[in-house]
Amino acid sequence: MSETVLITGCSSGIGRVAAHAFLADGWTVYATARNVEALADLEAAGARTARLDVTADADVERVVDRILEEQGRLDCLINNAGFGQLGPVEDVPIEKVLEQYDVNTVGPQRLIRAVLPHMRAQGSGTIVNVTSITDRFPIAGMGAYNGSKSALATVSETLRQEVRDFGIDVVVIEPTVVSTALYDRIREELVDVDHDTAYTDLYELHELLHTVKSGGLGIASPEDVARAMLEAANSDDPRRRYTVGWTGKVAALVASVVPEPWRTPLLAAGVRAATSRPGKRLLQWWFTRNHRADRPDLSESAATERRRQRRRR
**pLDDT digits 0-9 by tens, 245-261:** 766 667 667 667 777 77
Would you state the pLDDT for residue 189?
Answer: 56
Of 30, 100, 106, 26, the C-alpha closest to 63 is 30
Spatial distance between the Cα atoms of 176 and 244, rounded to a whole number of angstroms: 6
Would you state the pLDDT for residue 305?
Answer: 42
The pTM of this model reads 0.82
304 is a domain residue: no
Would you state the pLDDT for residue 247?
Answer: 66
Please report, for the domain that includes residue 69, its CATH number: 3.40.50.720
Q: Which of 30, 149, 203, 242 is catalytic?
A: 149
What are the CB-based long-range contacts (under 8 Å, 24+) for 117-122? 118/64, 118/68, 118/73, 118/74, 119/74, 119/163, 119/166, 119/168, 120/163, 120/166, 120/168, 122/73, 122/313
When pLDDT is cut at 50, 70 and 90, the band that residue 127 belongs to is very high
Range of 225's domain? 4-194+217-259
Spatial distance between the Cα atoms of 193 and 136, rounded to a whole number of angstroms: 25
154 is a domain residue: yes
40 is a domain residue: yes
Whether 38 has a pLDDT exceeding 60, the answer reads yes
Question: Model confidence over 79-122: pLDDT tens digits?
Answer: 999 998 888 999 999 999 999 999 999 999 999 999 999 999 99
The rounded mean pLDDT for the chain is: 83
Q: Confirm whether 145 is a catalytic residue.
A: yes
223 is a domain residue: yes
Other CB atoms within 10 Å distance of the CB of residue 272: 12
284 is a domain residue: no
Spatial distance between the Cα atoms of 187 and 304, rounded to a whole number of angstroms: 39
**How many domains does the chain contain in total?**
1
What percent of the chain has pLDDT above 90?
55
17-to-20, 180, 227 alpha-carbon distances in Å: 5, 11, 10
**Sheet of 168-175, strands arranged across:** 48-51, 28-33, 4-7, 76-79, 125-130, 168-175, 241-244
CB contact at 8 A, 97 and 144? yes
What percent of the chain has pLDDT above 70?
75
Q: Which of 30, 101, 145, 242 is catalytic?
A: 145
Whether 269 has a pLDDT exceeding 60, the answer reads yes
Would you state the pLDDT for residue 219?
Answer: 66
Contacts of 128 (CB under 8 A, 6+ apart): 76, 77, 78, 79, 171, 172, 173, 229, 232, 233
